[in-house]
Structure formats: C-alpha cells, structure tokens
C-alpha cells in the first residue's frame, strides 16, 4: 500500500484512500482498494457512505459528499493509525544511577515488569520512579539477558535494548 502523501493531486485516489480508512474503522463502509479509477466499486462505496451519513444517495462525489467524507476520515484515521509513540531521549552521557529518581524510571520499571513476567531471568523491579536496589537488580538481570555490561544503571544503550525488547514481550499475548 502506498503512503497517503502519494495521493496528493490525485483526487480519486485520495477519495478511495479516505473510504478505505473509513472501512477499517467501521466495516459497514465498503472495502475499497485505491486504484485511481472512479469505477463501479468506488460508486458503490460512495453510495454506501452517503446512505450511512444521511446524504442523497447518488454515488457521485459532490462537494457535500467530499466534505462529509473528509470530516469522517480525520477521526477514523486517528482510530486506525498506530498509537503515537512516546520518545524518551537520554543524552549521550546521561546515566540513571542507584538512588536517583526520574520520571523515566517509572517507564523503565514498567517495561522491566513486563519483561520479568515474560523472561524468568529478569527479576521484578519496584515501581517507585527511584532506582532502588530491586530496580538495579532488575536492570542488571535484563542487561545480562541482552548481553550488556551488568551495571544496574540505565544508560542510553540499556534504554535502547529495553525499548527493543519491550514490544516483543508486551505483544506476545
């Protein structure tokens, strides 16, 4: 599937992509593959949209239909798209050490908890936002699993490996 930005200046493909997104959110809309041709399938998909949204059912994309599709598309796109990632940025030499507190540690502890449930070799941390002894042991056990030096501290490399392993463990269910 081509990215949506490739449909700019291609109104039929843009229309078809919006209708496809609406189907992904709500299966009462017809499934449509954007091909740039306003053929029978597009006419049917537009007719179904018009019927579902209280517009005159003509199968023709007039201004009112276009605006209604565009208005319905935006929230559908938010619902069908991936969740917005949270980017945690540790500076090159930044290191979270024993006894320190940081909002990042709440996130790290949450990831470590999931990893501990999936991998017996990773010990459970506390969930305090403080790099206490239990969290340091959890970090060190994860570092051993990832083949990293077992410092018990969270540095940029440890964070990277946490961020890589967490989705794999979290999505196994």
Confirm whether 86 is domain-assigned: no
Indicate the SS3 state at residue 146: helix
Tokens of 35: 């091909």
Q: Are residues 68 and 114 in the same domain?
A: no
DSSP symbol at 53: T
If you average pLDDT over every residue of the chain, what do you get?
91
Tokens of 65: 């239909």
pLDDT at residue 88, rounded to an integer: 82
Per residue in 7-43, pLDDT (tens digit) is 455 899 999 999 999 999 999 999 999 999 999 999 9
Per residue in 142-166, pLDDT (tens digit) is 999 999 999 999 999 999 999 999 9
Q: Are residues 24 and 54 in the same domain?
A: yes
Q: Are residues 68 and 104 in the same domain?
A: no
Residues 123, 126: Cα–Cα separation, whole Å: 10
Confirm whether 70 is domain-assigned: yes
Per residue in 55-75, pLDDT (tens digit) is 999 999 999 999 999 999 999
pLDDT at residue 1, rounded to an integer: 46
Percent of the chain with pLDDT over 70: 94
What is the number of structural domains in the chain? 2
pLDDT band at 53 (very low <50, low <70, confident <90, very high): very high
Tokens of 43: 């006419």
Q: Are residues 9 and 76 in the same domain?
A: yes
Q: Which residues pair with 155 in a beta bridge?
A: 95
Percent of the chain with pLDDT over 90: 79
Whole-prediction pTM: 0.59
Per residue in 82-109, pLDDT (tens digit) is 777 778 888 888 899 999 999 999 999 9
Q: Which structural domain, as residue segments, surrounds residue 60?
A: 4-80
Query: Which residue stretches of 26-155 are H helix?
Result: 40-52, 63-80, 103-118, 133-146
Q: Are residues 73 and 124 in the same domain?
A: no
Q: What CATH number corresponds to the domain at position 149?
A: 1.10.101.10
Per residue in 98-139, pLDDT (tens digit) is 999 999 999 999 999 999 999 999 999 999 999 999 999 999
| Domain closes at, from 80, 105, 139 | 80
Phi, psi at 89, each rounded to 5°? -115, 115
């Amino acid at each position: 599937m081509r990215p949506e930005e490739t449909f700019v200046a291609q109104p039929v493909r843009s229309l078809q992509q919006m209708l496809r997104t609406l189907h992904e959110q709500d299966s009462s809309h017809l499934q449509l593959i954007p091909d740039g041709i306003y053929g029978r399938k597009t006419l049917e998909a537009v007719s179904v949209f018009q019927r579902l949204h209280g517009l005159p059912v003509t199968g023709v994309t007039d201004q009112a239909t276009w605006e209604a599709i565009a208005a319905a598309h935006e929230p559908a796109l938010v619902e069908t798209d991936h969740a917005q990632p949270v980017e945690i940025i540790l500076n090159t030499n930044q290191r979270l050490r024993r006894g320190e507190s940081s909002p990042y540690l709440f996130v790290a502890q949450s990831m470590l908890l999931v990893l501990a449930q999936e991998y017996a070799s990773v010990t459970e941390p506390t969930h305090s936002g403080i790099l206490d002894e239990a969290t340091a042991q959890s970090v060190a056990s994860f570092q051993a699993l990832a083949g990293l030096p077992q410092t018990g501290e969270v540095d940029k490399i440890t964070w990277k490996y946490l961020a890589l392993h967490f989705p794999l463990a979290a999505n196994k269910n």
